[in-house]
């Protein structure tokens, strides 16, 4: 029996790799220009890190985590998101001790046990950015602006930035009761999960994907009418700074996001053409997370881009190019020489290839043609005795002789990096 990949875990093939790299390189370029430094966090964390930060009533913690007991009996989890891990690293290594403001980014895979479908995998990749140490609403606007900038640089054209304010624990306290009372009167229309959420964390009902629940929430009271003065003012300022930077946005008063640690600003970038999984990126402010994880009282804000989802809506790049030169051989001696030439050329950065299956010259040339290799050199007994090798330019259809003794040197000069780039 053939062993296949685990459901929801996919391979990223060479055909797709240049688009992946472009997105990653664009992310590094933009984020580093905005002062973010790369951090690399482990794939595995203690389960309690996520249970404590993401929130016990969220879908992620309730049903999506890859958790297991390791051989020592500790409960560990494959990271379902990066903010909690980055916050843990920030606290553990006291990254706040050098400068009050710390900007970090991370690119890597996340793991969630969800039903695989278009734009939803069990192993997927995120680009994460986090700013620790600044409560000022300018940073909220800057983070959203740079997210939109980065997505546009990657080729995303039709998208919308949606924002909301989730308030602070103080404003949410009162709102919880209002919302709970509202839901209490509509229990017949709520799904099983939401009946439980109503008791433990009624705000989560806004995030329910069940149609009946969403209909109920159309009429629900909104958090925006219950914000305390500080949160209301913060939100107004965030909006005015977005306007200052000329970043278009819309307010979505029902957006709560799938994580409990958010406070004040929450946002999402939705793209056209993605169907139900339309959020390519999402994030928010989390002013209590660091303290809740045992760190100092430090505010934070960040976002995550879903790379697979982004790739569904941006133009893809062609596959990586074929080798530049194919050396076709006839006979043992020629094969030995080609072997050395290929090695020397590859060592100097020129992609060269040859055949190792003792095929006829014709079939070697057919292979080079099929791979669309632009240059082909031919070497056989005749070439060895005459001291000249034929180099064919397959696109121009022209050919010329190159001295056997200086072949590698000549090829380096003719087809070396600068020439290669010009092709
Ligand atoms: P959704 O409502 O789409 O499930 P979420 O609230 O779970 O999103 P976050 O945890 O905020 O999303 O993750 C940020 C981004 O990561 C999402 O906007 C999306 O682009 C991507 N993402 C989340 N889950 C998956 C998944 N299972 N497969 C692929 N991408 C994902
Ligand atoms: Mg989700």
Task: Name every protein residue with a CB atom under 6 angstroms from any ligand 1 atom.
Answer: 81, 112, 114, 119-121, 124, 126, 257-258, 277, 279-282, 304, 306, 308-309
Radius of gyration of the chain (CA): 28
Tens digits of residue pLDDT in 90-130: 999 999 998 999 999 999 999 999 999 999 999 999 999 99
Q: What is the pTM of this model?
A: 0.93
Structure tokens at 421: 């780039």
Q: What was the pLDDT predicted at 49? A: 97
User: Helix, strand, or coil here: 402?
Assistant: strand
Closest alpha carbon to 317 in 34, 73, 25, 64: 25
Q: From the CA of 374, how far away is ligand 2's center (Å)? A: 46
Distances (CA, A) of 239 to 132, 171, 280, 319: 21, 19, 21, 41
Closest alpha carbon to 207 in 155, 262, 169: 262
| For range 67-79, the mean pLDDT | 97
Q: What was the pLDDT predicted at 423? A: 44
Residue 167 · residue 264 · CB < 8 Å: yes
Q: Which residues contact 149 (CB under 8 A, 6 or more apart)?
A: 30
Q: Which residues contact 5 (CB under 8 A, 6 or more apart)?
A: 11
Q: From the CA of 341, how far away is ligand 1's center (Å)? A: 49
Q: What was the pLDDT predicted at 379? A: 96
Tens digits of residue pLDDT in 333-385: 999 999 999 999 999 999 999 999 999 999 999 999 999 999 999 999 999 99
Q: From the CA of 353, how far away is ligand 2's center (Å)? A: 46
Closest alpha carbon to 312 in 208, 159, 149: 159
- Measure the CA–CA gap between 74 and 394, rounded to whole angstroms: 61
Give me the half-sphere count of Cα atoms (radius 13 Å) on the Cβ side of residue 194: 25
- Cα 238 to its chain centre, rounded Å, is 26
| pLDDT band, very low/low/confident/very high, at 277 (cuts 50, 70, 90) | confident
Ligand 1 atom with least separation from CA of 112: 27
Pocket mutation for ligand 1, best pick of 50, 306, 308, 310 (most atoms within 8 Å of C-beta) = 306
The phi-psi region of residue 127 (left if phi > 0; otherwise alpha if psi is between -120 and 50; otherwise beta) is beta
Q: From the CA of 98, how far away is ligand 2's center (Å)? A: 35
Closest alpha carbon to 271 in 144, 400, 151: 151
The CB density around residue 356, as the number of other CB atoms within 10 Å, is: 10
Pocket mutation for ligand 1, best pick of 80, 125, 265, 282 (most atoms within 8 Å of C-beta) = 282
Domains in the chain, please, with CATH?
Answer: 14-168+228-312 (3.30.930.10), 325-412 (3.40.50.800)
Tens digits of residue pLDDT in 129-143: 999 999 999 999 999
């Amino acid at each position: 029996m053939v062993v296949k990949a685990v459901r929801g875990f996919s391979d990223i093939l060479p055909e797709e790799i240049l688009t992946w790299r472009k997105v990653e390189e664009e992310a590094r370029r933009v984020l580093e220009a905005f002062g973010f430094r790369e951090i690399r966090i482990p794939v595995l964390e203690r389960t309690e890190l996520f249970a404590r930060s993401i929130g016990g009533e969220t879908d992620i913690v309730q049903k999506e985590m890859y958790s297991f007991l390791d051989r020592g009996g500790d409960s560990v989890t494959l990271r379902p998101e990066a903010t909690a891990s980055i916050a843990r690293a920030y606290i553990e290594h006291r990254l706040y001790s050098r400068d009050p403001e710390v900007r970090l980014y991370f690119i890597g895979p996340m793991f969630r046990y969800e039903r695989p479908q278009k734009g939803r995998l069990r192993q997927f990749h995120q680009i994460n950015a986090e700013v620790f140490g600044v409560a000022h609403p300018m940073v909220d606007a800057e983070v959203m602006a740079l997210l939109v900038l980065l997505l546009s640089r990657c080729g995303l054209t039709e998208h919308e930035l949606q924002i909301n304010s989730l308030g602070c624990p103080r404003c949410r306290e009162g709102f919880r009761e209002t919302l709970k009372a509202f839901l209490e009167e509509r229990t017949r229309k709520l799904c099983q999960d939401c009946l439980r959420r109503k008791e433990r964390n009624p705000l989560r009902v806004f995030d329910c994907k069940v149609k009946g629940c969403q209909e109920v929430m159309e009429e629900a009271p909104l958090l925006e009418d219950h914000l305390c003065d500080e949160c209301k003012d913060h939100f107004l300022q965030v909006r005015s700074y977005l306007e200052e930077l000329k970043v278009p946005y819309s307010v979505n008063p029902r957006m709560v996001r799938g994580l409990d640690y958010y406070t004040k600003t929450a946002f999402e970038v939705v793209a056209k053409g993605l169907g139900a999984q339309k959020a390519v990126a999402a994030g928010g402010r989390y002013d209590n997370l660091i303290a809740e994880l045992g760190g100092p009282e430090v505010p934070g804000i960040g976002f995550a881009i879903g790379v697979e989802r982004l790739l569904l809506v941006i133009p893809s790049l062609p596959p990586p190019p074929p080798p530049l030169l194919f050396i076709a051989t006839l006979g043992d001696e020629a094969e030995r020489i080609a072997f050395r030439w290929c090695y020397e050329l590859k060592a100097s950065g020129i992609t060269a290839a040859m055949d190792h299956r003792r095929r006829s010259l014709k079939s070697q040339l057919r292979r080079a043609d099929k791979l669309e290799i632009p240059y082909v050199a031919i070497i056989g007994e005749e070439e060895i005795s005459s001291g000249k090798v034929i180099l064919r330019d397959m696109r121009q259809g022209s050919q010329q002789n190159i001295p056997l003794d200086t072949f590698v040197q000549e090829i380096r000069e003719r087809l070396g990096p600068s020439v290669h780039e010009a092709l």
